């Protein structure tokens, strides 16, 4: 689990320092404030170090793999690491990640660097295994053949899409290893979507309902999105208390409000079982469900992080709070309030102006 990440001169960030809680972390902010970039760099550090933890402790190998990972996740211009250095910055770009087991991993590079400079051991224990990153777009509709195409050709997809396809295509874990709450979550999802997604291997996915089988492409996109979560639980790619952090970029996209509440209930329950979750969202309903459903008596912990551009300095800053009402700035809430105000004005025929 990640406890803190500090970004200096990385992409659009001058310097931001963010403390994560071990349960649910929600990142909000207007477009262009770096929400996805924050998720990706945290995922890059956690996933690269985990992949090498049992195979190599050679810092040269780790820095080469980390460099490759960053370029494949961020897809900078000409695949050059230096393009991730903030424009105009004189000092190095630096990313420092601290884990809850007190290990720290730090890397830096300049605008002409081909490889990063690494410091810190960053070793992860077996209980802090592979993280999962669910990108904005669902992948069930184009999984078939995607991984082989990605390996052979230059595609306009970053590596999060290959990673998620590989995780979804894993076989199911043994029934006696499937956690009770994971089984409950799968059943809840299947109940709402009215069936189950079937994975045949090689990326072939169908949808089965009432003994009838259909192409996954004819199923609603929102159903395919929550179907991905069900499959990750089936394969054990997500196992609370065992696997690493779940990063999810805009989980609410293409979901109706009923699906949002179910998804929030599932994510809260998974966090109660020991899963760290980091989410980026634009949606008021999705965000508000966390505020309404989180329960201190159940041990819930939700930390809100608001990324914003300071009007005077032009720098990206972050404000972190444990209370939704204290979240400032909150562009999601502000947009909803403006909508309500406009509705009042319309209903009053201009009298409310």
Residue 204 has φ and ψ, to the nearest 5°, of -75, 125
Residue 156 has φ and ψ, to the nearest 5°, of -85, 45
Region label for 107, one of left (φ > 0), alpha (ψ between -120 and 50) or beta (otherwise): beta
Domain that residue 214 falls in: 139-243
Whether residue 198 sits in one domain with residue 78: no
Whether residue 252 sits in one domain with residue 117: yes
Return d(Cα 246, Cα 244) in angstroms, integer: 7
As given in the structure block, the two tokens for residue 176 are: 């006696």
* The pLDDT of residue 32 is above 50: yes
Whether residue 254 sits in one domain with residue 235: no
Whether residue 264 sits in one domain with residue 224: no
CATH number of the structural domain spanning residue 88 = 3.40.50.300
pLDDT > 90: percent of the chain: 72
Whether residue 222 sits in one domain with residue 86: no
Tally the domains of the chain.
Answer: 2
53 versus 334: which is more confidently predicted? 334
Residue 43's CB: how many other CB atoms inside 10 A?
Answer: 25
Return d(Cα 294, Cα 290) in angstroms, integer: 6
Return d(Cα 69, Cα 64) in angstroms, integer: 9
> What is the SS3 assignment for 224?
helix
pLDDT at 343: 77
Highest mean pLDDT among 51-55, 145-149, 178-182, 282-286: 178-182
Whether residue 122 sits in one domain with residue 13: yes
Query: Residues 119-138: what's their mean pLDDT?
Result: 72
Whether residue 262 sits in one domain with residue 228: no
- Of 219, 243, 267, at which residue does a domain stop? 243
Q: Among 234, 206, 210, which Cα is nearest to 219's?
A: 206
* The pLDDT of residue 87 is above 60: yes
- Of 243, 263, 289, at which residue does a domain stop? 243
Whether residue 40 sits in one domain with residue 125: yes
Whether residue 101 sits in one domain with residue 183: no
Query: Residues 88-109: what's their mean pLDDT?
Result: 91
CA atoms within 13 A on the CB side of 124: 27
pLDDT at 257: 83
> What is the SS3 assignment for 281?
coil
Q: Among 43, 9, 52, 51, which Cα is nearest to 25's?
A: 43
Whether residue 263 sits in one domain with residue 127: yes
Whether residue 195 sits in one domain with residue 266: no
As given in the structure block, the two tokens for residue 346 are: 């319309």
Q: What is the pLDDT of residues 159-217, one digit of tens each?
A: 999 999 999 999 999 999 999 999 999 999 999 999 999 999 989 999 999 989 999 99
Residue 123's CB: how many other CB atoms inside 10 A?
Answer: 16
- Of 213, 243, 273, at which residue does a domain stop? 243
Whether residue 175 sits in one domain with residue 70: no
Which residue bears the tokens 């041990």? 299
Instruction: Please check whether residue 63 is in contact with residue 116, taking contact to mean a CB–CB distance below 8 angstroms.
Output: yes
* The pLDDT of residue 124 is above 50: no
């Amino acid at each position: 689990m990640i406890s803190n990440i500090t970004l200096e001169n990385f992409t659009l960030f001058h310097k931001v320092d963010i403390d994560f809680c071990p349960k649910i972390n929600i990142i909000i902010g207007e477009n262009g404030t770096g929400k996805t970039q924050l998720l990706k760099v945290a995922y890059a550090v956690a996933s690269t170090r985990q992949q090498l933890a049992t195979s190599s402790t050679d810092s040269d190998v780790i820095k080469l793999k980390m460099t490759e990972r960053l370029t494949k996740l961020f897809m900078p211009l000409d695949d050059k690491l230096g393009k991730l250095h903030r424009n105009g910055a004189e000092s190095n770009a630096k990313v420092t990640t601290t884990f809850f087991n007190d290990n720290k991993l730090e890397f830096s590079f300049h605008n002409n660097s081909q490889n990063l400079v690494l410091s810190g051991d960053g070793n992860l224990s077996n209980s802090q295994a592979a993280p999962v990153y669910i990108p904005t777009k669902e992948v069930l509709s184009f999984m078939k053949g995607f991984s082989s195409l990605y390996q052979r050709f230059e595609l306009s997809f970053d590596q999060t899409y290959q990673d998620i396809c590989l995780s979804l295509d894993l076989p199911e874990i043994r029934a006696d290893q499937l956690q009770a709450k994971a089984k409950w979550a799968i059943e809840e999802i299947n109940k709402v979507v009215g069936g189950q997604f079937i994975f045949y291997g090689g990326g072939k996915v169908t949808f089965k309902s009432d003994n009838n089988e259909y192409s996954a492409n004819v199923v609603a996109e929102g159903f395919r999105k929550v179907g991905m979560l069900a499959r990750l639980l089936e394969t054990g790619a997500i196992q609370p208390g065992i696997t690493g952090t779940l990063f999810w970029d805009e989980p609410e996209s293409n979901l109706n409000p009923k699906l949002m509440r179910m998804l929030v209930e599932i994510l809260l329950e998974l966090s109660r079982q020991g899963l760290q979750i980091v989410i980026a969202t634009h949606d008021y309903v999705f965000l508000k469900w966390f505020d309404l459903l989180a329960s201190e008596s159940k041990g819930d912990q939700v930390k809100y992080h608001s990324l914003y551009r300071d009007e005077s300095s032009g720098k990206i800053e972050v404000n972190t709070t444990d209370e939704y009402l204290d979240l400032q700035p909150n562009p999601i809430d502000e947009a909803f309030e403006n909508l309500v105000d406009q509705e009042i004005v319309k209903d009053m025929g201009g009298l409310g102006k």
